[in-house]
Amino acid sequence: MEEMLFYDRMQFAFTITFHYLFPQLTMGLSLIIVYFKWKFLKTDDIQYNKAIHFWMRIFALNFAMGVVTGIPMEFQFGTNWAKFSELTGGIIGQTLAMEGMFSFFLESSFLGMFLFGEKIIGHKWHFVTALLIFLGSWASGFLIIATHSWMQNPVGYEIMANGKFVLNNFGALFTNPWLWPSYLHNQAASLVTSSFVVAGIGAFYVLSKRNESYGRLFLKTGVIFGLISSIIVAVPTGDLLAKNVVKHQPVTFAAMEGIFHTEEKGAEIVLIGQPDVKDKKLDNKIAVPNVLSFLTYGSWDTTVKGLDQFDEKTHPTNISGLYYAYHIMVGLGTLFIGLMSLAVFQLFRKKLFVTKWILWALFFMMPFPYIANTTGWYTSELGRQPWLVYNLLRTSEGASPTVSSGNTLFTLLGFVGLYLLLGLLFLLLVGKIIKNGPETVKK
């Protein structure tokens, strides 16, 4: 059973990690495209419209990859996680069906018109289609995170005699206290990814002295959007989400922060350290006294519960993985704020475009928001373990009992090979678009 559960989780983790590389760019990029189109309508500057045509090709490729890699995950609910689907389908089926029927169809329906219909519908309606794509992509994220939030903090349900969960309060799904901080945190994080990609490609053009006017436009847009979104990820959304964890999943919070023993006179915040789960301690730690208590409770000497206060059966199953995922996410987020602050400062001093070390930093930082988003989701998912539905349904109770570990491993290897080829093809196509540049885009 343990081997079967391990491969079930590995397959879902791999497929969803690869899949989310694409929506996190499209959700944020859809807002930036709307901004470019609005600027074009306002200024009648053709450069903004050419920038739209450039970015919408990258958007379309990301959207297509997101669709292709998202479909296998839906099937896994019926294969590897059939018991989970059977027991909770009456609840999660509501939001997932709404995501497919309303949000995805809204986004995909208007994408074709946006890509090919500008000359037919005119610029104002082209802006409307861009706006509808943005609304569809963000609504899709909202409904997915509503599902996820219910798994983290189940509300509005009752359990029938046969063990199935049924919804007795539909509105509770959308007033879940876990939902809005999670949603806004996730959307701001997707905008961070898009901002770094836009700024990074802009830096590439300026450094290589090709398409420099577009490079400056992308840089200016990317660093301003990037600074705003990086701050929002930390405060207020990240802070509110962490306080949700403290309130609803205190054992998860203790594991995230590496607190093995309760700290009664104020908890320190650990900057660096290696968790030793066997001996229940942090090795080689660098910490600042009492700061964690202040950030969490607004008081320097408030007690923060450690893992020793909770039954070991409720401890996260991978404390080390959870600790490192959380600290990588927070560390990178802090770095993003610092870099974008310097870039915006130089922008207002009118020296950004000639400050080469910042341009190189923006270029090489493009992959890191993807890492931060991935570790952020790992923090959330590893923190909920050993539960699929927190405190109600264990992960081991949701797996399909009839799907063997061998079958799951075989298909996992197939996904790895197929996604490797898809990933390489995607990079080649995006690389070709970037190489050709905005000026070569035909209108």
Cα–Cα distance measured from residue 11 to residue 43, given in angstroms and rounded to the nearest whole number: 49
Tens digits of residue pLDDT in 152-168: 999 999 999 999 999 99
Instruction: Measure CA 216 to chain center.
Output: 27
| Model pLDDT, residue 143 | 94
pTM for this structure?
A: 0.95
Q: Which residues fall within 8 angstroms of residue 179, CB to CB, at 6 or more apart?
A: 145, 146, 149, 173
Q: What is the dihedral of CA 331, 333, 334, 340, to 10 degrees?
A: 140
| Model pLDDT, residue 357 | 97
Cβ proximity of 293 and 299 under 8 Å: yes
Tens digits of residue pLDDT in 76-133: 888 899 999 999 999 998 898 888 877 777 787 888 889 888 999 999 999 999 999 9
Q: Which two tokens stand for residue 248?
A: 């609803």
Instruction: Measure CA 144 to chain center.
Output: 11
| Model pLDDT, residue 442 | 53
| Model pLDDT, residue 441 | 54
Q: 232-236, long-range: CB within 8 Å, 24+ apart, which pairs?
A: 232/184, 232/188, 233/185, 233/188, 233/189, 233/192, 233/333, 233/336, 234/333, 234/334, 234/337
CA angle 54, 64, 222 (to 5 degrees): 40
Mean pLDDT for each consecutive 10-residue tract of the chain (443 residues)? 87 95 96 97 95 95 92 87 94 88 78 89 94 93 95 96 93 95 97 98 96 96 98 96 95 95 91 93 93 91 94 94 97 98 97 97 98 97 96 94 90 95 96 90 52
| Model pLDDT, residue 121 | 93
Cα–Cα distance measured from residue 181 to residue 216, given in angstroms and rounded to the nearest whole number: 34
Q: Which two tokens stand for residue 39?
A: 């600027």
**412 vs 3, 82, 120, 313, CA distance in Å?**
14, 17, 45, 29
Q: 74-82, long-range: CB within 8 Å, 24+ apart, which pairs?
A: 76/11, 76/12, 76/15, 79/400, 79/403, 80/8, 80/11, 80/12, 80/399, 80/400, 80/403, 80/408, 81/8, 81/12, 81/398, 81/399, 81/400, 82/400, 82/402, 82/403
